[in-house]
Structure 1
């Protein structure tokens, strides 16, 4: 799976996903200091699933109607200790599910998902 890990995502988790065979680009290395809008635009442009610990991306997709058709996975880990993020990210991505077009919130005990809105002039994954 093609993934774009947000700047706040731990390096250990990026490496764990790469070990599972995923193609993971990481904002912290590629484009540190990018705004959330720039990160979301890159994920869409490169057709990468956006992986983050930052709930602001849900706001951008749902309230601001910015295109996010590649999908967004928000991991909710409190506190965001790298080992806990690695464990949750591994569990989510070992499922082999296609998260394109979805906003996914993953927590220790559950995974919720809902379709992302199609912005005016945008296209859905179907």
Structure 2
């Protein structure tokens, strides 16, 4: 899969995704300072699934009706890289066919899918 990891993913999450064979664009590495509008547009235009902890992307998708190829919103109590990786690993193992074109909220305890009307 192709993932665009927002700046809050740091370096560890993108590197782990790469080690799992995924193609990754990491904002923290390659586009620091890019604003949220540019992030979601880049993800859509270049066919990336966006991974972020920034709830503003929920507003962009559902209130502003921004198009996307998939958004994984991490709403975690434990924001450590190890926890993010563990939850992404579970998501990718359990729901691989449902990740593209869905808005997915991942918490420490559950995964919710919402198809936006882009």
TM-score (norm 1): 0.86
Tell whether the 8 Å contact from 1:71 to 1:116 is kept in structure 2 after alignment. Answer: no
Tell whether the 8 Å contact from 2:54 to 2:73 is kept in structure 1 after alignment. Answer: yes
Structure 1: unaligned runs, 5 residues or longer: 119-126
Deviations 1:11-57 (A, max 9, x none): 21211111111111101111111110000000001101000111110
Structure 2: unaligned runs, 5 residues or longer: none
Secondary structure at the aligned position of 1:28 is classed as helix
Secondary structure at the aligned position of 1:8 is classed as helix
Distance 1:19 1:97 in 2: 20
Distance 1:78 1:18 in 2: 25
Shift of 1:75: 1.2
- Structure showing greater radius of gyration is 1
